[in-house]
Amino acid sequence: MEFTLDPSLLLLLGGVAFLAGFIDTLAGGGGLITIPALMLAQLPPIQALATNKLQGTFGSLTATLTLLRKRQMTFAEVRTACIASFIGAAFGALVVQFIDASALAVLIPFVLGFIALYFLLAPSAGDIERRPRLGSRAHTGIVVPVIGFYDGFFGPGTGSFFSLSEVALRGRTLIRATAHAKAMNFASNAASLMVFLLGGKIIWLVGLTMGLGQLLGAYLGSLAVIGGGARLIRPVIVLVCFAMLGRYLYQAGYF
């Protein structure tokens, strides 16, 4: 599909993607920044979603590889979960092309509010490794593909959902949970991207330009995860979730 943008606007989108990549690596929610930017650039909704998956995949891949290289996780730890996330997201990306996803907008604000309050009111959550509340098989076989499906179907906040599930259900530290979340998020992004590729919905110039911004932002975000630890990740998650909640309430006309 042909689509032209003023070079200055293209550069601005690259800068937006850099910021989104940094924030998304820390807390998830990068789509809160990039999707509205793409819509403001006059991309049609389905092309905006598809192009967002392309640029987002750059960020999640960069963050995953950086965190693997820095030994914040191992491939063996996340391999099965990534497969589950990939399958769930592929199915979600297929379904969203036939079903209106706007119904989820009613539920998501409550979930985002819960995540924010969990990390706000449980300040020690994720500080140390704890006993899992849910077994590995149940988490990988049920929770991960459901979140992956959500990412393919709708998307905003996926990284926060993965992180919360790792901390609350698997007892991970917040740093390790964030690392695992990026790997699973990369898998879900890749699956969604493949489906959109087959549909020919991607605006390549925009996606690749933003992908470069995502690459740099995600790399710096990964270093911030390692250097800042839970004391940095937790407030960012809370702020991002409340920001997304505010966006949904604003769109719903509550203020």
Q: Check: CB of residue 183 under 8 Å from CB of residue 81.
A: yes
pTM, rounded to two decimals: 0.84
DSSP labels for 158-203?
A: HHHHHHHHHHHTT---HHHHHHHHHHHHHHHHHHHHHHHHHHT---
In the predicted model, what is the mean pLDDT of residues 40-46? 81
Highest-pLDDT range among 135-144, 160-169, 224-233, 244-253: 135-144
Mean pLDDT score across all residues of the chain: 85
* Tens digit of each residue's pLDDT (9 = 90 or more) over 135-185: 999 999 999 999 999 888 877 778 888 998 999 999 999 889 999 999 999
Confidence at residue 4, expressed as pLDDT on a 0 to 100 scale: 62
What is residue 6's three-state secondary structure? coil
Percent of the chain exceeding pLDDT 90 equals 45
Distance CA 122, CA 120 (A): 6
190: how many CB neighbours lie within 10 A of its CB?
Answer: 19
Residue 222 sits at the vertex; the CA angle it makes with 220 and 133, to the nearest 5 degrees, is 155
Distance CA 127, CA 204 (A): 41
Confidence at residue 1, expressed as pLDDT on a 0 to 100 scale: 47
Q: Three-class SS string for 93-136?
A: HHHCCCCCHHHHHHHHHHHHHHHHHHHHHCCCCCCCCCCCCCCH
Residue 125, pLDDT above cutoff 50: yes
Confidence at residue 126, expressed as pLDDT on a 0 to 100 scale: 60
Residue 100, pLDDT above cutoff 80: no
Q: Check: CB of residue 32 under 8 Å from CB of residue 240.
A: yes
